[in-house]
Amino acid sequence: MSRRELAAWVQSVLGGPGFRAGQIFEWLHRARVDDAAAMTNLSVADRDTLGRAGSLERLRIDTAALAHDGTRKLRLRGAHGDVFESVLIPNPGRGYTQCISSMVGCSLSCRFCATAQLGFVRNLATWEIVDQVYQAQDLLQREAEQTGAQWPGRITNLVFMGMGEPLHNYGQVTAAIALLTDAKGAGLSPRRITVSSAGLVPAIERFARDGHASEIGLAISLNATTDEVRDRIMPINTRWNIATLLGAVRRMPVNARRRVTFEYVLLAGVNDSDADAARLVALLGELDCHINAIPFNPHPGTPLQRPSAAAIDRFVARCRHGGLQVHVRTPRGDDIAAACGQLALEASP
């Protein structure tokens, strides 16, 4: 529930002063309690009533795998026992980035992504999205207590780039962002949150129309420079092709959006040629954008391969020579199948 929804619910269940809902909201979203009995500034009667009237169910962490670079992959169980994953990535000197899932499985069929092999199971509920962050923060808190650290690690950045197409779960994702950025709760900065999309054009247009694009980052998974190739590796392109997708981005008001990021997964012999680099410059050169070049992260069940280091360097150099701002994303957590495109390999019960 949003703070307003919670206030209306608390008033109907408990009555009493209006500030009571604010106290409960902070217990839930700042203290992250899972038992109404822990809300010590409420009366015993109110705590008993809350315990009977509402659920404080939380996710369960099955495993927390640790990679050689400090990345953690959390295997989580949700409301129905379904398994999904979230990734916690350390940023030396500036907290952690968490990669959030929005679905169990995925509703799309991108050929380079391991999650697609699961198919679509269901959308995650708002609380399941929010609690991914709270579970990770609780994990960091426990580790600080065990090691005697003065301060626990802190999650500062969120990227909706885990399992699922976030904009196919639009209502729950945007509601979760509203909760996570509430100053009375986790208090995360909207400008440190990025939502990724494979190119769901109507939802991208809605994202801009609803005003989210002014603060929340948008990352478009492009991955090809021709419709023929993109149709093959990202079937969503058969419905909204490259021209339609880029048209939606261009129509987003420049003064009402952050710089758009385009993600480009480099696949050997598929989209990494000199001609691809030239076409990418032609497609994106006029846009105020940033490109993340992502060397493909191999996983079982696909014939796709990562280009050689020399091929990656050549592609990136040609794009930069054409005026594009390109960053090569270093794989994080690939030894535990936690890198981009690898989630869900160990997600079966």
Q: What is the pLDDT of residues 77-115, one digit of tens each?
A: 988 889 999 999 999 878 999 999 999 999 998 999 888
**Using the 8-state DSSP alphabet, how is residue 102 labeled?**
-
pLDDT at 256: 54
Give me 241's structure tokens: 């092709």
For the stretch 300-322, pLDDT in tens is 878 899 999 999 999 999 999 99
What 3-state class would DSSP assign to 36? helix
For the stretch 238-297, pLDDT in tens is 999 999 999 999 998 776 557 899 999 999 999 999 999 999 999 999 998 999 999 998
Spatial separation of the C-alpha atoms in residues 125 and 265, rounded to whole Å:
29
Class of 3-53 per CATH? mainly alpha
pLDDT-derived band of residue 346, with 50, 70 and 90 as boundaries? Answer: low
What 3-state class would DSSP assign to 267? coil
Looking at the DSSP bridge assignments, the partners of residue 202 are none
Spatial separation of the C-alpha atoms in residues 17 and 51, rounded to whole Å:
19
pLDDT at 330: 85
**Taking all residues of the chain, what is their mean pLDDT, rounded to a whole number?**
92
Within 223-304, residue ranges assigned H as helices are 227-233, 242-251, 274-284
pLDDT-derived band of residue 333, with 50, 70 and 90 as boundaries? Answer: confident
pLDDT at 17: 86
For residue 159, pLDDT over 90 is answered with yes
Name the CATH code of domain 60-336 (choices 3.40.190.10, 3.40.50.970, 3.40.50.300, 3.20.20.70). 3.20.20.70
pLDDT at 150: 87
For residue 337, pLDDT over 90 is answered with no
pLDDT at 114: 84
Strand order in the sheet with 72-77: 60-66, 72-77, 83-90, 96-99, 155-160, 193-197, 217-221, 260-266, 289-295, 326-328
Written as one letter, the residue type at 103 is: M
pLDDT at 193: 97
Domain with CATH 1.10.150 in the chain: 3-53
Give me 266's structure tokens: 């480099």
pLDDT at 348: 39
For residue 347, pLDDT over 70 is answered with no
116 Cα distance to chain centroid: 16
For the stretch 193-236, pLDDT in tens is 999 999 999 999 999 999 898 899 999 999 999 999 999 999 99
Helix axes 201-209, 170-180, angle to 10 degrees: 40
pLDDT at 138: 95
**C-beta separation of 190 from 129 below 8 A:** no
For the stretch 15-53, pLDDT in tens is 878 899 999 999 999 999 999 999 999 999 999 999 999
Rg of the chain taking only CA atoms, in angstroms: 21
What 3-state class would DSSP assign to 107? coil
On whether the pTM is more than 0.75, the answer is yes
| H/E segment holding residue 76 | strand 72-77
Catalytic residues: 85, 340
Tell whether the torsion through CA atoms of 95, 1, 17 and 46 is positive or negative.
Answer: negative
pLDDT at 276: 98
Spatial separation of the C-alpha atoms in residues 128 and 103, rounded to whole Å:
10
Domain with CATH 3.20.20.70 in the chain: 60-336
